[in-house]
Amino acid sequence: MRALTMPQPWAAAITYADMRVESRPWSTSYRGPVLIHAGETVDQRHGPMVAAVVRGLQLDLGAVLAVARITDCHEDDGECTPWSKPDKHHLVLDEVTALALPIPWRGAQRLWTPPTVLMDRVREQLSDETAAHVLREA
């Protein structure tokens, strides 16, 4: 299990909209469950697509918002999605499941391993079926 920290409003776009690619300057071979963690900063450099998604949403900072699965990571091919950034690696996300209540937590750089106490708090918010399916290792 891993977690991925990103600034708002990108974490909200993954959690509450159809953003299914997170662009990063680095690649990863990891495939499997990931927590979507909103960092403590807000990226002011976003376009109208993001503004339309997050308008009216409370942008929680420093909290786990969702669980998902990383299913692929590839270099920019120019054809990924409207959310993809050029000249970056694209982490492809699937099965995004928003948590009912954000879980305050301090994140870390790159992919990080969430401690057991955090995972216990995440599982409390998921049905047994969802937890078994989304949190299963690849």
Spell out the per-residue pLDDT of the chain, length 138, in tens: 999 999 999 999 999 988 999 999 999 999 999 999 999 988 887 777 777 777 778 789 999 999 999 999 999 877 777 778 888 999 999 999 999 999 999 999 999 999 999 999 999 999 999 888 888 876
pTM: 0.92
- Please, which residues have CB within 8 angstroms of residue 137's CB and are 6 or more apart in sequence? 1, 32, 33
**Residue 119 gets which letter from DSSP?**
H
Strands 2-8 and 111-112: antiparallel
What's the DSSP call for residue 17? S
Contact between 71 and 33 (Cβ < 8 Å): no
Q: How many CA atoms lie within 13 A of 137 on its CB side?
A: 3
Cα separation values, 52 from 24, 37, 98, 131, Å: 23, 21, 19, 30
What pLDDT was estimated at residue 137? 79
**What's the confidence (pLDDT) of residue 138?**
60
